[in-house]
Structure 1
Amino acid sequence: MIRATRLLRAGHLNGGEIVDRVVLDHGDRHRRRTAMRGVGGIAFLLDLPDAAVLNDGDALVLENGRLVWVEAAPERLLEIRAPSEHALRRLIWHIGNRHIPAEIGPDAVWIAHDHVLAEMVRGLGGTAEPVDRPFRPEGGAYAGGHGHSHSHD
């Protein structure tokens, strides 16, 4: 089975030939090693040196140099809005206090659909409307090799 051993970030695809694409939800976009099949039928083994978050628009480099495009699948989410910037910041704090993945935009926040959190948001004066769209949550303070390392040797 052909392997994909490298990840090219969106914007750094440098003209490679895209031969297929994989459509993955948020949970399936954090990988290191797994068998995959593109929507066009190409089967390959994702075999990265380290676990990585595969972002919408990235590409996986196959051993033969060809590329498989990564696309974020639409998911059922809650779009959370508030009547003011301060109210939205309060809602973000309450959501973050529950340690759940969240995508933060300039005037809305998206989280996985959860009726309990929807009621909490509404109880705090916000709106929580179901939407279907790709989910691109924040990576967290330690994502992507930035920030504090947990190695204290």
Structure 2
Amino acid sequence: MLTLTQLCSTILENARQFHLSLTAEERCRSRLHCHSDEGESLYLKLPRGITLQPGDRLQNEEGTVMVMVQAKAEPTLKVMAATPLGLLQAAYHLGNRHVPLEIHTDYLRLGADAVLQTLLEQRGLKVTFEVAPFCPERGAYHAH
């Protein structure tokens, strides 16, 4: 099992390279046993508070392995509204519940949840179940 501990900003020329598809929840964990898309057993050991983003690169301490992080498709709800105000109101109500939310100009995406789906549908929004990569907004105090 390979232990990955560092974020890498450059591509390591001679390193073995793997891809790691993780759900939004898994990308927030600082310790995680997982497998690369190629089947390699991996252990993530990252500083607390790190949220991995698609495109991030990890490496082992020796610099002999590099792993590219990807967003894994997972059960989600896609929320659309007839008006921009309807979409803003949906974002407001979901934000009041501290729901992780992916925000786009014409739709919102959140993790699949039957209770929230009912709430949104009762507000007249179109809610569609999808299995899709989910990349919620980072916290307000996270630097871009």
Provide the residue aligned with 2:124 in structure 1: 125
1:33-61 Cα distance to aligned partner (Å, 9 max, x none): 33333232333432223331111111111
Specify the alignment match of 1:42 in structure 2: 40
Alpha carbons of structure 1 residues 129 and 42: separation in structure 2 relative to 1, 3 Å: same
**Aligned counterpart for 2:51 among listed residues 26, 50, 53:** 53
The superposition leaves residues 65-86 of structure 1 with CA deviations (integer Å, 9 ceiling, x where unpaired) of 2311111110111100101111
Q: Which residue of 1 aligns with 2:18?
A: 20
Distance in structure 1 (CA, Å) of the matches to 2:4 and 2:128: 38
| Alignment deviations for residues 69-128 of structure 1 (CA, whole Å, 9 cap, x no partner) | 111110111100101111111111111111111111111001111122112112212111
Q: Which residue number in structure 1 is paired with residue 84 of structure 2?
A: 85
Q: Which runs of 5+ in 1 are unaligned?
A: 147-153
Identity %, equivalent residues:
31
Structure 2 alignment gaps of length 5 or more: none
Tell me if structure 2 keeps the 8 A contact 1:18–1:69.
no
How many pairs were matched up?
Answer: 140
Measure the CA separation in 2 of the matches of 1:49 and 1:79. 32
Secondary structure of 2:50's counterpart equals: strand
Distance 1:128 1:45, change over 3 A: same
Structure 1 76/36 Cα, relative in aligned 2: closer, same or farther at 3 Å? closer
Matched ranges for 1:60-71 at <5 A: 60-65=58-63, 66-71=65-70
Aligned match of 1:149: none
Using the TM superposition, give the Cα deviation of residue 2 of structure 1 relative to its aligned residue in structure 2, in angstroms: 4.0
Structure 1 length normalisation: TM-score? 0.81
One-letter code of the match for 2:11?
A: G
Report the TM-score when normalising by structure 2.
Answer: 0.85
Equivalent position of 2:29 in the other structure: 31
